[in-house]
Amino acid sequence: MERQGASNTRTAEARFTPSGEVSVAVLAPPAARTEPLIEPRVDEAALSFALGRERVLGRLDHSAAVRRLRRALSIGMFIWVGAGCLDLFVAEFAHEARLMTLLQFRALGTLVMIGALLRLRRKPEPSPLSLWSLDILVYTSIAVCVSLNTTSYRGLDSPYSAGILCVLLCRGATSLAPWQQGAWLSAPPALAYPLTMLAVSRVDARIAAQMHDPAALGGFVSMLFMIFISWALVVLGGHFAWKLRREAVQSRNIGRYELERRLGSGGMGDVWAAFDRTLRQRVALKTVYGHRPGSSLLVRLEREVRALAELTHPNTVRVFDYGATEDGLWYYAMELLEGENLRQLVTRVGPLPLERLLHLVGQVLRALGEAHDKGIIHRDIKPENVFVARLGGEEDVIKLLDFGIAKTTSIADSTLTNTGQIAGTPAYMAPETIVGAPADVRSEIYSFGVLLYYTASGRLPFPQKEPASLFAAVVTQVPPPLTSVAGRPVPRALERIVERCMAKNPAERYGSTRELLEALRPLTREPDAGQPDAGQPAAPPG
């Protein structure tokens, strides 16, 4: 857009500080001009992403700082307590200090570390201000205790004074922060030694006399110089480490996707929250690593994702893009969802009420129905792959996830299949697939039956942990009746449906998701609803 005359628009300049905060400065309007001006356009999506990215990086930095301090204190406490052997040696053999006095100061430092550790292990994590306070309290307290030990053993000439350098070294090992923050966090423990010695010299005649002894004073000044050098190295080293870590996080890009944070990890790869620079939207990016471009696995995955991208049912997670990098990282992008998976929901609230259960599983069946109609067998139906999302202002919107090991029967290629491998999660696998039969619609019905059993009762039909005993139970044993493990009344019709879904003989199970939906329909509050179509977004049961 072009316009004439003076501009009355104030402009704003945003700066990112090293700590991740944003400062905005309002500038005066420019002088009047007569030539055409091009009105600048603010890329709101890019700005929003930049701000959000800085917040994410700030949270990552804070969580990492909590973990580093917790680990440092866990290790440092054993070293600090173990150094009590030095106190014993000094008291028993040097005869220049009282053991009880040395141990009192060491006990004080130990109590401070224990208190800090207890807070760091509690949820929620301490805020940044609380974390900085704990950091200063712990390291300064230890530095003061070391300084007090020096006053008990030889004063300004005490070898204990070298302990201050150890405290600063430990502080530097756990400090990844911009230099401004690192400087004032490291200053209190660095100043603890000279301030403690000066304070004690006011009340201790021996320390006061050493302050006037050239030899002792020279050693004291030399130690102050070493403390200052150590403080500077700690601050600069922490700043450079923080900067390198931040750059490493910011540079984690895969193609057009900028990685923000890891959402989860699995045996084949990771799932990331990422920003698509082309579509200007956040996505979930699933990666599969460890395979060269052109390998049989990547060829098969590419074919399957190409087929999955054709799935249009609203209860199937949308796939936007896929590809592979030169170093063997294969990925695909899908919609980023807000909510929790079905296992998390059942763990949080317990077995679901019948009406809500039917509403959720009906959506799962319709999504599966469309996939089956296109010749796609999911092969890993389980609560973790059923996401209960909040979408478009609606609650309890199901999204079927993770077709990563799906079998696409319409494009199957025997040369791309590794024989002898079992695909799926053992607790949800059908007996015939465990013994080597290929997965099909009826084995998918079995997995859905286990999911239904778990959602209604909060327990698995076969809870064995050891794989061999679990496989044996699935193949040979009959699961306990749903009513006996649910801990509440369960409709007999639902129990019969679960039993038929989990029949050992595939021929005795339901033949399709449509047939199973029809069996569930009498349990709903709307038995006269229209017949559902597995490939259409019909109204869910309930």
> Residue 525 belongs to what H/E stretch?
none
> What per-residue confidence (pLDDT) applies to 241?
81
Give the residue extent of every domain in the chain: 2-41, 61-250, 262-336, 339-413+421-542
Closest CA to 331 of 383, 257, 221, 429: 257
**How far, rounded to the nearest angstrom, does the alpha carbon of residue 156 sit from its chain's CA centroid?**
49
Q: Tell me: pLDDT of 478 over 50.
A: yes
Structure confidence at residue 27 as a pLDDT band (50, 70, 90): very low
Give the residue-averaged pLDDT of 319-335.
78
> What per-residue confidence (pLDDT) applies to 94?
67
> What per-residue confidence (pLDDT) applies to 10?
42
- CATH superfamily membership of 262-336: Phosphorylase Kinase; domain 1 (3.30.200.20)
> What per-residue confidence (pLDDT) applies to 353?
93
SS3 content of the chain, % helix, strand, coil (to 5): 55, 15, 30
Give the residue-averaged pLDDT of 22-47.
41
List, for residues 178-202, the tens digit of each pLDDT value.
888 888 888 999 999 999 999 998 8
List, for residues 346-387, the tens digit of each pLDDT value.
999 999 999 999 999 999 999 999 999 988 888 889 999 999
> What per-residue confidence (pLDDT) applies to 328?
59
- Identify which has the larger pLDDT, 122 or 34: 122
Average pLDDT, the chain: 78
Q: Are 499 and 490 in contact (CB under 8 A)?
A: no
- Identify which has the larger pLDDT, 39 or 430: 430
> What per-residue confidence (pLDDT) applies to 42?
39
> What per-residue confidence (pLDDT) applies to 7?
38
Q: Please, which residues have CB within 8 angstroms of residue 279's CB and are 6 or more apart in sequence?
A: 320
Structure confidence at residue 513 as a pLDDT band (50, 70, 90): very high
Q: What is the DSSP letter of 316?
A: B
> What per-residue confidence (pLDDT) applies to 296?
65
- Compute the distance between CA of residue 539 and CA of residue 533 in angstroms, rounded to an integer: 10
Closest CA to 496 of 487, 486, 509: 509
List, for residues 213-253, the tens digit of each pLDDT value.
888 888 889 999 999 998 998 888 888 887 776 666 555 67
- Identify which has the larger pLDDT, 11 or 479: 479
- Identify which has the larger pLDDT, 20 or 279: 279
pTM score over 0.75:
no
Give the residue-averaged pLDDT of 40-58.
48
Give the residue-averaged pLDDT of 428-453.
93
**How far, rounded to the nearest angstrom, does the alpha carbon of residue 62 sit from its chain's CA centroid?**
13
List, for residues 345-357, the tens digit of each pLDDT value.
999 999 999 999 9
- CATH superfamily membership of 339-413+421-542: Transferase(Phosphotransferase) domain 1 (1.10.510.10)
- Compute the distance between CA of residue 321 and CA of residue 305 in angstroms, rounded to an integer: 9
- Identify which has the larger pLDDT, 312 or 87: 312
Q: Tell me: pLDDT of 34 over 80.
A: no
Closest CA to 139 of 246, 18, 237, 230: 230
Please list the active-site residues.
380
- Compute the distance between CA of residue 400 and CA of residue 384 in angstroms, rounded to an integer: 10
